[in-house]
Chain A
Amino acid sequence: MTVTATRTGSPGHLLTQVAGERASGVLVVGGHPGGAVFVLEGRVIYAESPAAPGVGELLTASGRLAARTWQNALDLGTSTARVGRLLVEQGHLTQGELELCVLGAIYDAAYFALSPASAPVEFLAGATHWLGPVVHVDPAAVDREVNRRVRLLDEIFPDARVDTSPVAPVPRPPRERVTLTAPQWELLVNADGQRTPADLALLLGRAGYATIQELRRMAAMGLIELPEVRPEGPELVRMPRTRGTAVDVQRPVVRPDGPAVPVITGARAAAAVPAPAIVAPPPSIPPPPEPAPEPAPEPPPDPPRHWPADETSGNQPVYRPPRLARRKPGARLPKELAGESPPVHQGTDEVLLKRIRTALRALR
């Protein structure tokens, strides 16, 4: 068995290449959800992906086969890669059923495995699937169909977040009258805000792609909640004002007779000497916190970053903003102000918070 080194590229492209060489083996696609496409002499014989229920899940979730029957066939046939043939020979399935089920599973899983434009892919030559060859599909047809399915979804509702995030029905429908198809109903009553589309597909024994299709339709109708847009870049960046002198409640007020350096009356001073604070110019037009560039009487030396406590206790508490070099709009904050950016989570914290919220709600 030879293994090509893992590389990042288009899975569909590698499949075409492998098919051209009439190779046998498995194309393993990494990433999320990823998957695997099994090839025998250049023809696709099976495909699987965590986001698509496999033949076993489809047959047992629907009740077509008892779980025991399926397990028996696995036990007997896995080592010789003839699980599919055994099921037909033992009379549990017709050849037609098996073929249709495998065909459906192949195209379903291939969508998830091959639709990413770029993913880590590797080809393990010689590997075969335990189901055994049931059907032989032209890889070019698979690739074409995958691309068509991508387009179909975007025509319905062009938002791929629907495909992966937990499904939550909106609490109130956006219209007085809503018409649902049977598959849509099934999805809605099983969506609990935690199950992802892949979970729902597996639970209901429905094709992963068909599930996503219905979800996108319902998203287009406004029936399921869209996941929040996560802002780009690290979340929870500390704002610059949280360090150093924090006098944010009151905007700076300039007294006409005051010094050229902007002066702020602190909260305490405003309470003690209310008059100047009231007659002061309307606070809706706050003056710039930076000193005016006009030639002022020699500005005092740079104030310390941390305001001494004794100044605020005085009669004229004076706020001088710490002097910062002017930044260009959009420029990064200086390191000591921005703080270290928190690690970027892949949505795990969000899911965790949602679960905690649901649990708390249940306790009420």
Chain B
Amino acid sequence: MPGVDHCLQEAMAIPGAVGASIVDYTTGFPVATTGAAPNSDHEAAAAGTADVVQAANSRALYVSALPHDLLEDLIITTAAGYHLLRMLRTDFDSRLVLYLWLDRVQGNLAVARRRMQKLADELVAS
């Protein structure tokens, strides 16, 4: 049975993974963390992650363009890394996002994105 810790371990097994966490994006709180975080501060990183998700979800109107559209993931590329945010959709009320920090050289964005999708689905669906 994959739990939260198992999910984060699997995320860290993705090639190039540096750190991972699950973030509540209404409050910007890291519900679970593993590995490194930007600036070695998981809580500050989570607060920023929440801002980014809120911006994409409710301030920018990308997901409001069509009815019943949903935000799936956000990919931020920097010169040295990739930052992947995958929305976790639970049936009960929660606003969670799975965050993965990838090394730019060792990581493969397409592979990582597929693995993240699988992980997110496995975590909340039987």
Contact = CB atoms under 8 A, between A and B. Distances in A.
Nearest to A180: B58
The interface size bin for chain B is 20 to 34
A94 B4 contact: no
Contacts of A94: 1-2, 122-126
Contacts of B28: 152
A100 B93 CA distance: 10
Contacts of A95: 1-3, 6
A364 B3 CA distance: 56
Nearest to B58: A181
B22 A100 contact: yes
B92 A103 contact: no
Contacts of B92: 58-59, 61-62, 64, 97, 101, 205
A213 interface: yes
The interface size bin for chain A is 20 to 34
A95 B92 CA distance: 14
A91 B93 contact: no
Q: Which of A53, A99, A149, A206 has the most CB of B within 10 A?
A: A99
A299 interface: no
A319 B4 CA distance: 84
Interface in A53-78: 53, 58-59, 61-64
B122 A101 contact: no
A267 B15 CA distance: 96
B91 A96 contact: no
Contacts of B26: 207, 209-210, 213
Contacts of B122: 94, 96
Interface string B1-38: 11110110000000000000010101111011000000
Interface of B: 1-4, 6-7, 22, 24, 26-29, 31-32, 43, 58, 88, 90-96, 122-126
